[in-house]
Amino acid sequence: MIKEQKPTVFVVDDDAAVRDSLRLLLKSVGLPVEVFESAQDFLDAERDDRPGCLVLDIRMPGMSGLELQQKLNDRHSILPIIFITGHGDVPMAVEAMQAGAVDFIQKPFRDQDLLDRINQALDKDAGSRRMLAERNMIRKRLESLTPREREVLDLVVAGKANKVIAGDLNLSQRTVEIHRARVMEKMEAHSLAHLVRMVLEVERPEA
Amino acid sequence: MASKHSTTARGAAARRTSSQQQGLEYRAILDAAVDAIIIVDHHGTIQEFSRAAQKTFGYERDEILGLNVRELMPEPFRSEHDGYMDRYLRTGEARIIGVGREVMARRKDGSVFPCDLAVGRVQGMEPPRFIGFIRDITTRKADQELLLRSEAELRLAQELANLGNYVMHPDAGGDDYFSPQLRRILGVTPEDGHRVSREEFLERWVHPSDRQRVAAGFARMDTGAAPLDIEYQVVLPDGTVKHLHHLAQAMFDNRGRLLKYVGTIHDITDRRRAEDEARVLQERLTHFSRLSTMGEMAAGLAHEINQPLSAIATYARACQRLIALPEPELEDIVGALEQINAQALRAGEVIRRLRNFVKNREVKREPINCARLLEDLRTLAETDARLHNIRLRLDLQEPLPTVYADPIQLQQVVLNLVRNAIDAMADVPEERREVVLATRIASDGEVEVVVADHGTGLAPEATEHLFNPFFTTKASGTGLGLAISRSIVRAHGGRLWHTANDDCGVRFHFTLPASPAAATGD
């Protein structure tokens, strides 16, 4: 159901040499990479919400790295961001982390440190995407329930026994059992515990 | 009898006529004489008082005749006069008679005046009579005193100013003059006596390093081409070194023959020392200001050096990984190696500019292409601009006339203005964050450099104190930047001022003269 796409590393840095060296490094380890000269160029590019991560210079003329992060957050982007910071940029790095960046790395850096962080970020992105896909699936299943089935589901998840549910909904216990079986089937739940977990997964305010 | 009488009468008449004539002549002499003439008897009683005497003393003849000559003297001579006369009559010892001297006399109104007095004894008369000749010398005395005073004042003035003057003749024959202060300046005692020739002066006084220059100055003066106006050092006999400012002129007669030299020598050692100290202080301050500017820019500079270093490190590791691949792409590796080289040079260049800028060095003027200098400065200035998320735009008019300036001091001025512009825009929105660095040729042919910001502008009270040392609106500023910038620009013969920017913010302008001749000393 989830179509696996090869993740891309997006690099945004105004310094041509830094940008190009990163492109070459990522190429050398076989990671697809796209580089951008400015934050605006990155926003303007057609990315189709491809999986990957963003390696972002915190300090740039025009739109800064922090401003780009803010814009991406506003768009509910889940793209993990690794900030590249210079000497003395700690306060900005702190701000970036508070705004949800996965990590930051100070220039000049060891290539392995950066690659490790990129791999972690890509893992995180893949995880987020998997979770997002799963939640979408659960939501679709929930949407397939009839209103009555949904009522039964809510009471089941609330931990009530069939008899109690029958009483609450003014149904026969048998009818409740039938609804419950339909719910388990539509939700593709292996067990009661699995069903509860799925419902909680989508009903939690934020993952 | 008649005949005798007549003869006698004729003789008497002739005698009378002769005596009358003598009397008339005597009066005429008395009245015509410019000097006052007074005749006294042996008691000092006035017998005769000439017209000039009446004018000099303010007495009428009638009122003074019969009075004692004492009346015409001020104390103490007045009381002592009888004694003088007694002694003379008793001993014949003359103090004043036949000698003449300068004494004080007293007018009728009581005023006292100096006079030359000559007294003669009328020969062949007993008791003796004396004739006095008196000349009022008030004016001459005043002139003398004036002369003495002006000489004293001149001497004092020379001492205070440490200035000496002289008149010298080309041959030993003339009457040379050297003022006392000149002797003091050159460490010569009056007892030295002997005439110092020009050659000896050059050899024994003038500092070896200045000798040739001074000799050339003397030679030019001798031809009448130009008066001497030269500063040089001398080494006194006791080893003291002094700085002198020597002005002199050769005087020629109408046949063009050299008559004499007239000159002044000013000891400017103290002034020179003070100037040297002030210059050293100013240079230190300027250097300090540059260092502090660099200190403020340290973060940006670290960033500027970090960029190429990061790129180098990353390229190098990328190369290693690319080489390790089963089928390495040589093109990528070669490109990366080229970049490693270029980035190392880039970092080196930043460090070179930084070192040049902060180096404590001699101020050195040279012909400068302004546009190139500003391009050169761009890296340093942009470093700072980028750090504060500000665009730096260069708007350089070319070609510009060459200016004669110290390149580092000039960069210091521009960098200071750019930094101020950047600071002025700390709180303005993104779209306004731009500093424009422009050059143009001003209407009078000068090169004008303008640094314009779009910041918050200047508060009126800030405008007032803008160029005062230690005045600053910044939390961490030294307040020296603008004061030093202005003094640098002035030393280069230019001006530094500011105007309000068209829409918002401030423009700082400064000019530099295009021709080297227009640049003044430090």
Cα separation, B39 vs B29, in Å, equals: 13
Question: To the nearest whole number, what is the mean pLDDT of chain A?
Answer: 88
> Edge-to-edge strands of the sheet including B112-121?
B46-49, B36-40, B130-136, B112-121, B101-106
CA nearest neighbour of B116 among B89, B83, B140, B94: B140
**CB distance B422 to B388 below 8 Å:** yes
Instruction: Measure B449 CA to nearest chain A CA, in Å.
Output: 25
Share of chain B above pLDDT 90, in %: 20
**pLDDT score at B8:** 58
Chain A, 93-132: which have a CB under 8 Å from a chain B CB? 107-112
Q: How far is CA B74 from the centre of its chain?
A: 50
Nearest chain A Cα to B432, which residue? A62
Is a pLDDT exceeding 70 seen at residue A3? Answer: no
**pLDDT score at A87:** 67
**pLDDT score at B364:** 81
**CB distance B230 to B207 below 8 Å:** no
**CB distance B240 to B205 below 8 Å:** no
Chain B residues inside the 8 Å CB shell of A88? 299, 302
Predicted confidence (pLDDT) per residue in B23-71, tens digit: 888 888 888 888 899 999 888 899 989 888 998 899 998 899 898 998 8
Largest CA distance in chain A: 74
- Confirm or reject contact between A28 and chain B (CB < 8 A): yes
Chain B residues inside the 8 Å CB shell of A61? 386, 389-391
Helix (H, G, I), strand (E, B) or coil at B521: coil
Instruction: Measure A160 CA to nearest chain B CA, in Å.
Output: 59
**pLDDT band at residue A207 using 50, 70 and 90 as cut-offs:** very low
Angle of the A65-74 helix axis to the A90-98 helix axis, nearest 10: 10
Report the relative pairing of strands A33-36 and B241-252 from DSSP bridges.
unpaired
| Nearest Cβ partner for B314 among A21, A59, A62 | A21
- Integer distance in angstroms from the first to the last C-alpha of chain B? 115
CA nearest neighbour of A14 among A72, A61, A84, A47: A61
**CB distance A124 to A102 below 8 Å:** yes
Instruction: Measure A17 CA to nearest chain B CA, in Å.
Output: 6
CA nearest neighbour of B85 among B130, B123, B116, B125: B130
Chain A residues inside the 8 Å CB shell of B315? 21, 24-25
- Listing DSSP states for A25-84 in one string gives HHHHTT--EEEESSHHHHHHS--TT-SEEEEEES--SSS-HHHHHHHHHHTT----EEEE
Chain B residues inside the 8 Å CB shell of A29? 321
DSSP conformation class of A174: H
- Confirm or reject contact between A157 and chain B (CB < 8 A): no
Chain B residues inside the 8 Å CB shell of A105? none
User: What type of residue sits at position A185?
Assistant: E
Cα separation, B201 vs B226, in Å, equals: 20
| Nearest Cβ partner for B315 among A21, A62, A107 | A21
User: What type of residue sits at position A200?
Assistant: L
Cβ separation of A27 and B302 shorter than 8 Å? no
Chain B residues inside the 8 Å CB shell of A25? 314-315, 317-318, 321
**pLDDT score at A83:** 93
Question: What are the φ/ψ torsions at residue B270 (nearest 5 degrees)?
Answer: -65, -45
Which among B296, B297, B320, B321 is the top mutation candidate for probing chain A, defined by the most A β-carbons within 10 Å of its own β-carbon?
A: B321
Nearest chain A Cα to B307, which residue? A18
Nearest chain B Cα to A88, which residue? B299
- Confirm or reject contact between A147 and chain B (CB < 8 A): no
Cα separation, A98 vs A70, in Å, equals: 11
**pLDDT score at B6:** 52
Chain A residues inside the 8 Å CB shell of B388? none
Instruction: Measure A72 CA to nearest chain B CA, in Å.
Output: 19
**pLDDT score at B350:** 85
What is the reported pTM?
Answer: 0.56
Q: Which residue has the higher pLDDT, A109 or A86?
A: A109
Q: Which residues contact B463 (CB under 8 A, 6 or more apart)?
A: B498
> Edge-to-edge strands of the sheet including B391-396?
B391-396, B434-441, B447-452, B506-512, B496-500
**pLDDT score at B182:** 87
Cβ separation of A59 and B389 shorter than 8 Å? yes
Cα separation, B341 vs A54, in Å, equals: 28
> What are residue B103's DSSP bridge partners?
B115
**pLDDT score at B521:** 40
Asked whether the CA dihedral A190, A192, A194, A199 is positive or negative, the reply is: positive
Is a pLDDT exceeding 80 seen at residue A141? Answer: yes
Nearest chain B Cα to A65, which residue? B389
State both tokens at B163: 């200035």
| Nearest Cβ partner for B306 among A62, A86, A110 | A86
> Tokens 């931990």, residue?
A159
Chain A residues inside the 8 Å CB shell of B338? none
- Listing DSSP states for B5-45 in one string gives HHHHHHHHHHHHHHHHHHHHHHHHHHHH-SSEEEEE-TT-B
**pLDDT band at residue A178 using 50, 70 and 90 as cut-offs:** very high
Instruction: Measure B394 CA to nearest chain A CA, in Å.
Output: 16
Report the relative pairing of strands B258-267 and B36-40 from DSSP bridges.
unpaired
Q: How far is CA B389 from CA A43, B8, B434, in A?
A: 19, 140, 9
| B480-B486-B490-B494 Cα dihedral, nearest 10 degrees | 160
Helix (H, G, I), strand (E, B) or coil at B428: coil
**pLDDT score at B522:** 39
pLDDT < 70 stretches in chain B: 1-17, 172-173, 190-194, 469-470, 475-479, 515-522
Cβ separation of B339 and A17 shorter than 8 Å? yes
CA nearest neighbour of B365 among B209, B512, B232: B512
**pLDDT score at B518:** 41
| Nearest Cβ partner for A107 among B306, B322, B430 | B306
**pLDDT score at B294:** 78
Question: What are the φ/ψ torsions at residue B486 (nearest 5 degrees)?
Answer: -65, -40
**CB distance B292 to B472 below 8 Å:** no
| Nearest Cβ partner for A21 among B311, B386, B389 | B311
Predicted confidence (pLDDT) per residue in A112-123, tens digit: 999 999 999 999
- Confirm or reject contact between A24 and chain B (CB < 8 A): yes
| Nearest Cβ partner for A29 among B321, B342, B386 | B321
Cβ separation of A24 and B343 shorter than 8 Å? no
| Residue ranges of E strands in B144-287 | 163-168, 177-178, 228-235, 241-252, 258-267
Asked whether the CA dihedral B142, B148, B149, B154 is positive or negative, the reply is: positive
Which among B296, B312, B317 is the top mutation candidate for probing chain A, defined by the most A β-carbons within 10 Å of its own β-carbon?
A: B317
Nearest chain B Cα to A112, which residue? B317
State both tokens at B432: 């306004």
**CB distance B307 to A17 below 8 Å:** yes
Cα separation, B307 vs B303, in Å, equals: 6
> Quick count: other Cβ atoms within 10 Å of Cβ B407?
19
State both tokens at B151: 């000489």
**CA-based radius of gyration for chain A:** 23
